[in-house]
Chain A
């Protein structure tokens, strides 16, 4: 599941993560 949701996973692990379009 983590593999399929890399950005969500990254957001959960990092305090703030800019997500650029």
Chain B
């Protein structure tokens, strides 16, 4: 009976993942390996960026709006924020579908999202990355790693650590069913600062982590150390988010750019 419960939980979480996220690893890999009829538009310099802005991301950049005359770095930063806000919205819906999450104290739900969404976002971002670049605009564009590196500082420091993490993370060859459980485990984490009902969340976390462990053994029988490797990735993601939050604070201080109110809420008093 316990195994049946675990399988049900794994299935519920996987279904919630497929339902709530616009992009997933299977979709991203199909595009990145050239198996789609129309390949993504490659953004590799200022000219191709402008072309992409006129077509793919016109809505995001607001081509007729306030950002039209701003420098490329600011426009790209704004696009990153739009994508982050969308993913946070998707992650919130996903979290609500994880059994037990919605019955938690509302303050604890807020805390789990505040600390979990960026870790989850960077774990999932790896699915859309390869060593040369990143899928953007729902997979219709591909922005190269070299172009992102060539931007002026501090914007050039934004994505490179995510690529470095992604290359190591992608080497683990997780599929969407593994990622669904991994993302759920990131969100339902009992040691976030300020949690009220720690015991309740720890129980949830324990069942998700147990399901993840069994799922990995069944889904990757040749990689017996995959589970401990993934636990290490949780620590790496925490570090990645800490550094990212510091960089965003620096950009906010030194650059004339706005930060979306939702992201401001998340970053405020984070670490």
B75-115 with Cβ < 8 A to chain A: 78, 81-82, 85-86, 88-89, 92-93, 96, 106-107, 109-111, 113-114
Determine if B265 and A8 form an interchain contact, defined as CB atoms under 8 angstroms apart: yes
- Which of the residues A5, A6, A19 comes within 8 Å of B114, measured between beta carbons? A5
Number of A-B contacts (CB under 8 A): 51
Contact A8 B262 (CB under 8 A): yes
Q: Mark B178-190, 1 if CB is under 8 A from A, else 0.
A: 0000000000000
In the assembled complex, the Cα of A16 lies from the Cα of B261 at a distance in Å of 17
- Which residues of the partner chain A approach B269 to less than 8 Å between Cβ atoms? 4
- B268 touches A (CB below 8 Å): yes
**A1 and B265 contacting across the interface, CB-CB below 8 Å:** no
Residues 224-266 of B at the A interface (beta carbon under 8 Å): 260-262, 265-266
A1-B194, A16-B93, A21-B81 known; A8 and B114 CB under 8 Å? yes
| A4 surroundings in chain B (CB, below 8 A) | 265, 268-269
Inter-chain contacts of A7 with B (CB < 8 A): 261-262, 265
Considering only residues 107-143 of chain B, those with a C-beta below 8 Å from chain A are 107, 109-111, 113-114
Partner of A12, one of B78, B113, B266: B113
If A5-B114, A19-B260, A21-B85 are given as contacts, then 5 extra A-B residue pairs at C-beta distance below 8 Å, sorted by A number, are: A4-B269, A8-B92, A12-B110, A17-B89, A19-B85
Offer 14 A-B interface pairs, CB within 8 angstroms, sorted by A.
A1-B110, A2-B106, A4-B268, A6-B265, A7-B262, A7-B265, A8-B265, A9-B110, A11-B89, A12-B109, A19-B86, A21-B78, A21-B82, A21-B85
Chain B residues at the A interface, C-beta cutoff of 8 Å: 78, 81-82, 85-86, 88-89, 92-93, 96, 106-107, 109-111, 113-114, 194, 260-262, 265-266, 268-269
